[in-house]
Structure 1
Amino acid sequence: MIRRRGAAIAAWAALGAGLGACSQSTPPETPPLAVEAEPAAARAPAAPETRRAYFGELHLHTGYSFDAYALMGSRADPDEAYRFGRGDAVTYLGDTVRRSRPLDFMAVTDHSEYLGSFMRIDREPDGPLAQSKGGKLMAANPLAAALGQLVSVLSADKPTSTAMDEAMASAWQYEVNTANRYNQPGKFTTFVAYEWTTMLDGKYNLHRNVIFADKGPAAPFTATDSRRPEDLWAFLDAQRAIGIEGLAIPHNSNASGGLMFDWKKSDGHPIDEAYAQQRALNEPLVEVYQHKGQSETSPLLSPEDNFANFERSEALLTGGPSAVNGSFTRQALGRGLVLGQKLGTNPFAFGFVGSSDFHNGLSDSAESAYAGNGLNSTDPHVNLPDPAFAKAILSQKVNPAGEAAPAANLHRPSDSEALRHTPALLNWSSAGLTGVWAEENTRPAIFAALRRRETFATSGTELRLRMFGGWNLPSGMMQQAGWVARAYRMGVPMGADLPLHREGNPAPTLLLEAAKDPMGANLDRIQVIKIWLDGDGYKEKVFDVAWSSERQRDPRTGKVPPVKNTVDLKTAKYANSAGATVLRVQWSDPEFDPAVPAVYYARALEIPTPRWPTLLAVARGLPLPEGVPPTLQERGISSPIWYTPGKGS
C-alpha cells in the first residue's frame, strides 16, 4: 500500500498553482507496441561526436493530478498526453487539436499526492472510493476537497483512507504502464516519472520532478511520506541500491522564498558535506524555464545584465512576492562555488532544463500555442480563445510585484466552473523545452545525457546550443572539418569540469555554437556568463562573445547594442531580415585567474518576436494589454562548465 497521511497537501493545494483548462477525454487509442532496442552489448558504443540535439518535455500534468482535475477541470489522462506529445491529433474542449511539431522525448509528471483519485471517482462512480465519506466529498465539491477538506477526512475515516490507497496504487501502475507502452526507441522516448510536491508554509515552492531511467519504483515517495527534500534523496538512494536509477529536478525556484538554494538544510542547520554529496548525486539538473516564470536570474540580483528582465514572475498566487536571494540558479552557481571550496563538494553543480508545467495534459512550447494560464496549451488554428474570452484575458492589470489581478467572467461556455474564476496571468509565459545532446533517441542515451548534464534549456524555441571547454585548443579550430570530434577529444562538453589546469596553460578556451530554430527566429547573440569566487563571496559578469550584423561593441561598457526589432505590433509579425542563422565563436576568458574557482555557461538570444498577448490581441482584433512587454527575445542557456584549481575531469 502507498502511505498517504498528514496535512502537507492541503497547504500546497491552497496555492492553486498551475491553473489550467477543462479537457474532454476521448477513448484512448492503442499505441504501437514498444520496439525492443538491440541489446547494448551487441552494439559498439557510438562516438560522442555523433550526438545530436533532441528536444523534450519533463514536466507535464494531466487529470490524474488532483489540482489539474479539481482546480482546473482537466480530464485528459497520460494516454492523451503522450499521443499529443508525439504529434497525434487528440480531442480537447470539443476540438481536434495537434501539437505544432512532435517532441523527441517526454515524461508525464502527475502529482504523486492523491494520484488519480479524483479521476477514479469520475470513472467509477459506484466504486469503493466514490462511495466512501471522502469520495462523496470529492465528487460533490472537488475544489473544496482539493483545498484541504479531504485531509481531515483521511485522518479520521479508515474506509476512505483504504480506498484512497488502492486508487493511488492503481493509478501509479497505470502511469508506469502508459509510459512504457508509448516508449518507441529511436522515435519517441518516454520516461516513468512523477512530481513530489511540497509547499512550505503553504507558499514556498520546493517541488521536484522525479525521472527514472527505465523502470520505476513500486510506489512513489510523496510529500505525505516526508516534506524534506533530504528524505526524497534518501528514497532515490535506496531505489538506486536495488537497481532503479532516478534523479530529481527542482522547478520554479523563483517562487521558493529563497529556500531552494538556501545556505541551510531543511532542518535549519548549515549545509554540510554529506548534504552536498547527496544533493549533487540526486539533483544534477534544475528547471529554469517554464510557464510560471524563469528561474535563471532577476534584475534585482544581476543589475548589470541587460537581459535579466525576462519573463519574470516573482510573486506567488498567495503570500506575496517571493524573496529573490536563494531563489535563482545563477546565484546558486555562485553559492555552490563558496560551498564547494568549504566542503569539498558543490551541492549546486547542476545543469539546465526547461519544461511547461502545463496542467491540461497538452504540451506545446510555441508562443502562439499559449493563450494565458486559463488555457495552458492550445492549438491556435483550432481553439484560440474567442473574442470575449480573449478580452477578459488581456484586460487584466499587472501589479508591480508581477502578479496579475483576477479577471471577472473569465470563461467560455465549454469551460469548467473552476476555470471561470481562473486568472490568466499576463506575466506568465509559454512553455520551455529541454534540449539534450545524445547519440540516439532512446531511454539509455537520453537519460545518460541528463545524468552527465549535457543539456540546455530554452524558453520554448528549438534553437540548438553547444559549448565545449578546454586548454590550448588550436586557434581557428571551429572553422575546420571535424571540430566537434576534436572538441570531445581535447576538451569537455557543457555539464562537465574542465581538466586539471597545468602550470603554464593560458586561460581556458570555450567553443560555442548556436543554430536558429528551423521554424523560428534568427539569432541576436551568444553570451558567456561567468561566476567566480571572490573572497567569501562571488561575482558575476556577462560577456557578449558573438553577435549578428555590423554592430560594434561599446568600448566604454564592453556591451553590444540591441539588435534591430522587426516586429510589427499591428500585425504581430516579424522578419528574419535581422539576425543570423548560425553563430559560432572560440573565446578565451580575458580575466582568468588560475587560482580562482569559476563557472561558465552560455546564453543564446533570438531577435525580438511577438509575445503571446500580442499574438492573441491581434488575432482577435483587440488592443494590446498594458503593463507587459509586447515582444520578447526567446533564448536558450547551456549547462555550465566548472573550473576548480587543483581539480579536473
Structure 2
Amino acid sequence: MMIDTRMSALAALAGLAACSQPVPPETPPPAIQAQRASPPVTAAPETRRAYFGELHLHTGYSFDAYALMGSRADPDAAYRFGRGEAVTYLGDTVRRSRPLDFMAVTDHSEYLGSFMRIDKEPQGGLAQSKGGKLMASNPLAAALGQLVSVLSGDEPTSAAMDDAMASAWKYEVDTANRYNQPGKFTTFVAYEWTTMQEGKYNLHRNVIFADEGPAAPFTATDSRRPEDLWDFLDAQRAMGIEGLAIPHNSNASGGLMFDWKKSDGRPIDEAYAQQRALNEPLVEVYQHKGQSETSPLLSPEDDFADFERSEALLTGGKGEVNGSFTRQALGRGLVLEKKLGANPFAFGFVGSSDFHNGLSDSAESAYAGNGLNSTDPQVNLPDKAFARQILSQKVDPTGAGAPAANMNRPTDPEALRHTAALLNWSSAGLTGVWAEENTRPAIYAALRRRETFATSGTQLRLRMFGGWNLPGGMMQQAGWVARAYRMGVPMGADLPLRREGNPAPTLLLEAAKDPIGANLDRLQVIKIWLDGEDYKEKVFDVVWSSERQRDPRTGKVPAVKNTVDLATAKYENSVGATMLRALWQDPEFDPAVPAVYYARALEIPTPRWPTLLAVARGLPLPEGIAPTLQERGISSPIWYTPGKGS
C-alpha cells in the first residue's frame, strides 16, 4: 500500500472549492436515546416503499467548510435540521421544507475537526502549537497550503492534530448513533475520503457504514489511491464492519473517475474490476456542483442531456468529459466485462447535496446560488443587492469562468452571506431507496443491492423491474409489484438467465409525481449495448402525458407545454400526469449482445432557482442561463449478459 505524507495530502486538497454559510455553535439539545439496534428485515419485498435521504453533507468539522467557507455548523445541528427541526442559523430560525427519512453527515476525514478544536480549546495543545496559531490567525491560508510547510518541521503540531482528529471522529460516530431512530429517522456513520489527483482532478468518495464505523477513518493522508481505500474497506469487512464507497462529482474528475486505467497507470484487470464493483456499488449523479449522468458532448442525440451542466474542474479550467460521466461508464463497463469477465462500473445511482453549511434541503426554492447553500426562502433569502450580484455572473459550463475564479472565500462567517456560487450550479439532489422499513439494516441493504434511484431534488418516486415473458396488462392488476418481484428482478440487478425461445426482455416502469411538486412529462428508457470493441446508446420515449404523438420522422415525442410564467415564477399543473406506467419490450434486442437499461422520469418545466430569486427580489432574469428546468429522476440499471443472470 502506498502511504502519502500528511503534507502532500493537504497540498492535494488545497484546490477544493464549494459554497457554504457559517452557522454559530449551538447548545446541544437534551440527549437523544440511542436506538441503534434494529432486528433483521424479514418483510416480503413487495412491502418496500420509497424513502428519501441525504448521503453527502459537510459541517464545520470539514476543513474546507470551516476555513474556506466559514461554516460553524456541527453534525448535531445538521441532523436536527435534516429531520425537520428548526435550528438557529446566523441569528435566524430556519427549517427544512420537509423532513428527510435518512441521512449521513460526510465530513472530510482529512484534518477532521481540527479547526473546530482550536475554537473550542483556545488554550489547548493544538491551538498553542505553531500550526494551530497559523490556523487560528489565518484559516484560509492554512487550508490553502501554508500549513504544509509548518507540519513538515513541527511534530508537536502533527501530534496535537492527530488527537483532535481522533476526538472529532468519536464525536461524529456518537452523534450519528444518538440521532438514529429506527422507524422514524435513520442516520449512518460516514465520512468523505478526499483526494485530488495533481491537486485538481476530483476522485472523492463518500464512505457509508452499515452500522458501527471503524476505529478511525482511512484518509487521503494515508493514501490517495482508490485501490487502497478499497483494501481498507475489505479489511474492515473481514472484521465485521461493513461499508461501501460512493464516488461523486465525476463531472469534475478530468476523465479519471471512469478511466480505462488504474491509479498507477496500468490497464484495469479482473482483480481491480471485482474489488471496485464490491466496494463501489453506487455512484452519485446529482448534486449542487452539477450532474454526472451525461453531457451533450457525449450524448448528442439525447434531447435532455443539456441539464444542470458544470463540466469545469472544481479548481478551475476546462474538464475532460470522456471518463467523467456515468452513462459512458456503463458502456465502458460492458466493454471491460467482455474482456475481463468482471465489470468495474456496475453501479446504481444516488443523489445528494454536497452542501458545506451543515443544512441540507433539496427544494429548488431553498437554493439561491450563494454561500448559504441551503436557504430558507421565508427567512434568509439574499437581499436585493446581493441577489443582483449573484444574477449578474457570466459562466460557461464547459470550463471558462471556473469556480475558483468566480468565488470569494472570506473566512468571516457573516461575510458568507455575500459569497456567490456559479449560476450553473444547482440545487441539491436526493437519494431514493426502496426498503421494507426506515431502519439501518433495511436502507443499507437497499443501497447494497442497488435498489435505488437518484433525483435532481424532487421527491418523485421511480421504480423499474425486468424479466422475461412478463404478461401484458399485469401492471393494471392488483398485486403486480409482488408478482414482479417473483417473476423478475428490481432495478440494480442482473436479468434472470435467459432461456432459449424467450423473447426480448420486458421492463416494468412506474413513476409517481412528487406529492407537492410538478406533474410528470414522460418516462424514458436509456439503453447502452456492446458494439464490437465499443458501445452505443439510445434513448427511448416509452410513455408520456397528454395527447402528444411521436414524430413519425424522428421517432421523438414533442416537448411538453411549458406553463411557467416568468413574471411571477409560478407554473401550473394543468399539463402532465400524476403517474406514468408502462410495460416496455426492447424492440432492438439481440440475445447475443450485452446491454444495460435504466429509466429516466422527467417532470414538466418549473422555474429554476435564478428565476425564483430574480422574481422574489424584483430583478431582471439573468442572461445566458435557462429560466426553467425539468427536474428528473433516474433508476439504477438492470443488466443483460448472455449466459449470465440472477
Same fold (TM over 0.5): yes
Q: 1:512 aligns with which of 509, 513, 535?
A: 509
Q: Partner residue of 1:393?
A: 390
Cα pair distance change 1:617/1:402, threshold 3 Å: farther
- 1:585-641 CA distance string (max 9 Å, x none): 000000000000000000000000000000000000011111110000000000000
Q: Partner residue of 2:183?
A: 186
Q: For residue 527 of structure 1, what is the amino acid of its counterpart?
A: Q
Q: For residue 278 of structure 1, what is the amino acid of its counterpart?
A: Q
Q: For residues 409 and 105 of structure 2, what CA distance do their matches in structure 1 show?
A: 27
Q: 2:455 aligns with which of 454, 458, 478?
A: 458
Q: Partner residue of 1:640?
A: 637
Q: How does 1:222-261 map to 2 (within 5 A)?
A: 222-261=219-258
Deviation at 1:274, TM superposition (A): 0.4
Cα pair distance change 1:409/1:398, threshold 3 Å: closer
Q: For residue 553 of structure 2, what is the amino acid of its counterpart?
A: R
Deviation at 1:556, TM superposition (A): 1.3
Q: For residue 6 of structure 2, what is the amino acid of its counterpart?
A: G
Check the 8 A contact 2:488/2:496 in 1, yes or no.
yes
Q: 1:310 aligns with which of 283, 307, 311?
A: 307
Q: Which runs of 5+ in 1 are unaligned?
A: none
- Whether 1:501 and 2:503 are equivalent positions in the alignment is no
Q: 1:603 aligns with which of 578, 581, 600?
A: 600
Q: Partner residue of 2:30?
A: 30
Check the 8 A contact 2:370/2:390 in 1, yes or no.
no
Higher mean displacement: 495-504 or 372-381: 372-381
Check the 8 A contact 2:118/2:124 in 1, yes or no.
yes
Q: Find the residue that maps to 1:10 and give its secondary structure.
A: helix
Q: How does 1:8-47 map to 2 (within 5 A)?
A: 8-35=8-35, 37=37, 39-40=39-40, 45-47=42-44
Q: For residue 180 of structure 1, what is the amino acid of its counterpart?
A: N
Deviation at 1:373, TM superposition (A): 4.1
Q: 1:301 aligns with which of 291, 298, 307?
A: 298
Cα pair distance change 1:4/1:167, threshold 3 Å: farther
Deviation at 1:11, TM superposition (A): 3.4
Q: Find the residue that maps to 1:209 and give its secondary structure.
A: strand
Q: Partner residue of 1:528?
A: 525
Q: For residues 157 and 168 of structure 1, what CA distance do their matches in structure 2 show?
A: 17
Q: For residue 237 of structure 1, what is the amino acid of its counterpart?
A: D
- 1:258-288 CA distance string (max 9 Å, x none): 0000000000000000000000000000000
Deviation at 1:9, TM superposition (A): 3.3
Cα pair distance change 1:377/1:12, threshold 3 Å: farther
Q: For residue 153 of structure 2, what is the amino acid of its counterpart?
A: A
Deviation at 1:432, TM superposition (A): 0.1
Q: For residues 234 and 308 of structure 2, what CA distance do their matches in structure 1 show?
A: 35
Deviation at 1:561, TM superposition (A): 0.3
Q: For residues 418 and 143 of structure 1, what CA distance do their matches in structure 2 show?
A: 13
TM-score, normalised to structure 1, is 0.97
Q: Find the residue that maps to 2:6 and give its secondary structure.
A: coil
Q: Find the residue that maps to 1:7 and give its secondary structure.
A: helix
Q: For residue 182 of structure 2, what is the amino acid of its counterpart?
A: P
Deviation at 1:21, TM superposition (A): 1.3
Q: For residues 30 and 309 of structure 2, what CA distance do their matches in structure 1 show?
A: 41
Q: How does 1:141-540 map to 2 (within 5 A)?
A: 141-399=138-396, 401=398, 404=401, 415-417=413-415, 422-540=419-537
Cα pair distance change 1:35/1:253, threshold 3 Å: same
Q: For residues 432 and 408 of structure 1, what CA distance do their matches in structure 2 show?
A: 23
Higher mean displacement: 442-451 or 318-327: 318-327
- 1:557-589 CA distance string (max 9 Å, x none): 111000000000000000000100000000000
- 1:373-397 CA distance string (max 9 Å, x none): 4220011111001111111111111
Q: For residues 147 and 141 of structure 1, what CA distance do their matches in structure 2 show?
A: 10
Q: Partner residue of 1:6?
A: 6
Q: 1:140 aligns with which of 137, 147, 161?
A: 137
Check the 8 A contact 2:36/2:180 in 1, yes or no.
no
Deviation at 1:4, TM superposition (A): 8.8
Deviation at 1:469, TM superposition (A): 0.1
Check the 8 A contact 2:126/2:160 in 1, yes or no.
yes
Q: How does 1:92-171 map to 2 (within 5 A)?
A: 92-171=89-168
- 1:431-485 CA distance string (max 9 Å, x none): 0000000000000000000000000000000000000000000111101000000
Q: Find the residue that maps to 1:363 and give its secondary structure.
A: coil
Deviation at 1:414, TM superposition (A): 8.3
Check the 8 A contact 1:34/1:180 in 2, yes or no.
yes
Q: Partner residue of 1:84?
A: 81
TM-score, normalised to structure 2, is 0.97
Higher mean displacement: 389-398 or 438-447: 389-398
Deviation at 1:490, TM superposition (A): 0.0
Q: For residues 608 and 102 of structure 1, what CA distance do their matches in structure 2 show?
A: 25
- 1:27-49 CA distance string (max 9 Å, x none): 11125313365533xx7x10000
Q: For residue 531 of structure 1, what is the amino acid of its counterpart?
A: I
Q: For residues 248 and 412 of structure 1, what CA distance do their matches in structure 2 show?
A: 32
| Runs of 4+ with >6 A deviation | 405-414
Q: Which runs of 5+ in 2 are unaligned?
A: none
Cα pair distance change 1:312/1:208, threshold 3 Å: same
Check the 8 A contact 2:407/2:420 in 1, yes or no.
no
Check the 8 A contact 2:253/2:313 in 1, yes or no.
no
Check the 8 A contact 2:564/2:605 in 1, yes or no.
yes
- Whether 1:542 and 2:530 are equivalent positions in the alignment is no
- 1:102-156 CA distance string (max 9 Å, x none): 0000000000000000000011111110000000000000000000111221221
Q: For residue 255 of structure 1, what is the amino acid of its counterpart?
A: A
Q: For residues 485 and 475 of structure 1, what CA distance do their matches in structure 2 show?
A: 16
Check the 8 A contact 2:69/2:410 in 1, yes or no.
no
Q: Percent of aligned positions with the same letter in both sequences?
A: 84
Higher mean displacement: 365-374 or 56-65: 365-374
Check the 8 A contact 1:523/1:605 in 2, yes or no.
yes
Deviation at 1:315, TM superposition (A): 0.7
Check the 8 A contact 2:309/2:397 in 1, yes or no.
no
Check the 8 A contact 1:73/1:419 in 2, yes or no.
no
Q: Partner residue of 2:553?
A: 556
Q: Partner residue of 1:62?
A: 59
Check the 8 A contact 2:70/2:412 in 1, yes or no.
no
Q: For residue 460 of structure 2, what is the amino acid of its counterpart?
A: L
Q: For residues 297 and 448 of structure 1, what CA distance do their matches in structure 2 show?
A: 27
Q: 1:592 aligns with which of 569, 589, 594?
A: 589
Q: For residues 405 and 165 of structure 1, what CA distance do their matches in structure 2 show?
A: 34
Q: Find the residue that maps to 1:240 and give its secondary structure.
A: helix
Check the 8 A contact 1:461/1:635 in 2, yes or no.
yes
Cα pair distance change 1:258/1:648, threshold 3 Å: same
